[in-house]
Amino acid sequence: MGIYIKLGSPLRVPSSDRALARLHYCYTAIKYFQQPSFFLPQNVQIWRKAPSETLGGTKVDEMPLSDVSYTFALLRKRFSKSYFSEELFSSIVVFNGVWNVDNTKLAGFISCNNNSVWKQAYHDIEIDAYGRGNIEDLMDVFLTNDEFVNIVQSFIGDISHAEVGQPMNPAIVYFSIGAPEFGEVEDLIAIHLRDWREMVKFLYAKLRRSKAPWIKEKVVPIDRGFYVSSLTEQEITESIFKQVREEAEIVEKIGNSITYIGKGKDSFKDFYGRFEERIFKPASQELPKGDALKKIMKKGLEGTSSLG
Amino acid sequence: MPIRIPIINGQKSDIQYNLDDENDLKKLKLNPTDDGKISDRYVHYQNCKHAVIESKGTTVHKAIEQIESTVKHLLSTGNKVDFTILIMKRLSHSEQRSFKRRKDRVLIDPQTREPYSVRVGNEKRTIFLLYTSEANITCDGMDKYLSPKNIALGGV
């Protein structure tokens, strides 16, 4: 499955602490998937720029991974010492191993993306498998597992508990086929974020990408924060959100934050379509167009000059 | 779902190896347990050009790593590889910062405009990117790029 973790913090965190936080959550993920023997880590590689030569990367180091705790202690030491070094800012630490879910074996990896370009595409931590035969990625294996919802929930539980004492916490966790992006519902299977308002922001990001005239004319000219908060502060939005979510067969799991889990590969696409029809469209119907706003502003300015 | 093998300049492949099939791997002297990063097909075209095809990539970096590993294994066991083809549903928004398809379907780095290629020794194997939505995956546009020095499919 692709699991992608995006870390966040309300405070400014030094790069060395960010790299250490990524390692910490990587360690938590490996420990979680090691327990039911889903993932057997075999070695760790440190790459500069990208995790393969064809992608323009250079392998800096490689070591076997027999004792996970010991290897992580070594890596922590290494990253603590290399503050401001190139390795810290451009590295991708890849824990290679074998996934074994329901007797399906696949090569895979859990990686810490310290390289900023790589992080933009694949987030702070990427967990996935290399496709083989009819299996495209890890998501195909997990989706057929009856325990999928429980796996998502317990994984989120472990990752959330790992926040204690950390300068960064998992802001968003995506379960997706392929690299996810905020506002991209295609191939999204599950998502973990702060609360339902954050999910509305996510759907709004999708709306903004649309080229439909009513969105360009009426939604885009309005400040994002103002538009979203004006919607989420209405009680009716929350009840329609719940209704639409249930219609799209998306399960909600509430802990300290919220996880939404789709029943199928198209659940989130369906959710967005319904939300757009029932919330975004009617709420934007009576909004003035951007041109009309400009005219009002122009009129106001002309009034000022005539006063002068 | 069956894998659609690209037709290049009207040329179809006449020999195909399924790299998920242990018998085919044996024929190519490949070890199925090497590193698990393996592409979907190894094909031979009528003009004696060989290609590695990764057809179910969900993220570009994974697909490229699989292509790279397969090419290296094939070459080390005495097989020939002239070029590689990556077939994807689409390039995700987030990946478009690092990967772009040129007009001639070559996968490039949009920052440097340099093509991505699998390098073994001094030789480079170009990576072509095709989308599954492209009808018949016929690659007539490739011939502009395929100089005799490179792939020369369909007689450039």
> Residue A185: helix, strand or coil by DSSP?
coil
Instruction: List Cβ neighbours of A277 (8 Å cut-off, separation of 6 or more).
Output: none
pTM of the entire predicted model: 0.90
pLDDT beyond 50 at B154: no
Residue among B57, B61, B97 whose CB faces A55 most closely: B61
Tokens of B126: 């170009």
For chain A, which residues score pLDDT lower than 70? 1, 83, 305-308
Q: Is the dihedral of CA A210, A216, A219, A222 positive or negative?
A: positive
Instruction: List Cβ neighbours of A242 (8 Å cut-off, separation of 6 or more).
Output: none
Phi and psi at residue A93, in whole multiples of 5°?
A: -100, 115
* pLDDT band per the 50, 70, 90 thresholds, residue B137: low
CB-CB neighbors (< 8 A) of A6 in chain B: none
pLDDT at A137: 81
| Closest-CA residue to A260 (of A242, A273, A274) | A242
In a mutational test of the B interface, the residue from A116, A130, A208, A269 whose CB has the highest number of chain B CBs within 10 Å is A130
H/E segment holding residue B84: strand B83-88
Structure confidence by residue, pLDDT tens digits, B67-125: 999 999 999 999 999 999 999 888 888 899 899 999 888 999 999 999 999 999 888 99
* pLDDT band per the 50, 70, 90 thresholds, residue B146: very low
Q: What CA–CA distance (Å, rounded) separates A15 from B151?
A: 45
Structure confidence by residue, pLDDT tens digits, A66-122: 889 999 999 898 888 876 777 788 899 999 999 988 888 899 999 999 999 999 999
In a mutational test of the A interface, the residue from B37, B58, B86 whose CB has the highest number of chain A CBs within 10 Å is B58
CB-CB neighbors (< 8 A) of B37 in chain A: 107, 130
Q: What CA–CA distance (Å, rounded) separates A1 from A7?
A: 19
Q: Nearest CA of chain A to the CA of B131: how many Å?
A: 15
The terminus-to-terminus CA distance of chain B in angstroms comes to 33
Interface ipTM? 0.87
CB-CB neighbors (< 8 A) of A52 in chain B: 61, 64-65, 68
